[in-house]
Amino acid sequence: MALKVTDENYKDLLDGEKLVVLDFWAEWCGPCRMVGPIIDELATEYESRVEIGKVDVDDNNDIVVEYGIRNIPTVLFFKGSKLVDKQIGAAGKEVFKEKIDKLLQEDGFA
């Protein structure tokens, strides 16, 4: 299951050693409901290697503003607190897996 990421805990999460994947979503967003289960599956599959979390845009204005989230779903990928990739809009599981695997390979963690 993906972590619940909030305005209060996201900076600590981004300061960690692992690749971080954040899904920006809202309950009322249809495409977000399609991506949500994929994010949860990936959180289980990559549990020991990648921190994967969900950010409810309706409850966490600080992080939404900081990263300029204007469309949801938006999935951001971070390494060492730096934004290194993103996916705006719904996508299939393979798209996310390819991005994660590529970023892990770059660091020699694959």
Residue 29: active-site member: yes
pLDDT digits (tens, 9 = 90+) for 1-18: 899 999 999 999 999 889
Helix (H) or strand (E) holding 33: helix 30-45
Confidence (pLDDT) at 108 = 62
Residue 32: active-site member: yes
Confidence (pLDDT) at 106 = 85
pLDDT digits (tens, 9 = 90+) for 40-72: 999 999 999 999 999 999 999 999 999 999 999
User: What mean pLDDT is predicted for residues 77-102?
Assistant: 96
Percent of the chain residues topping a pLDDT of 90: 91
pTM: 0.94
| Closest CA relative to residue 82, chosen from 39, 20, 25, 32 | 20
- Choose, from 14, 20, 32, 64, the residue flagged as catalytic: 32
- Choose, from 2, 14, 29, 35, the residue flagged as catalytic: 29
Buried-exposed string 8-32: b where 16+ CB fall within 10 A, e elsewhere = eebeebbeeebbbbbbbbeeebeeb
Confidence (pLDDT) at 80 = 86
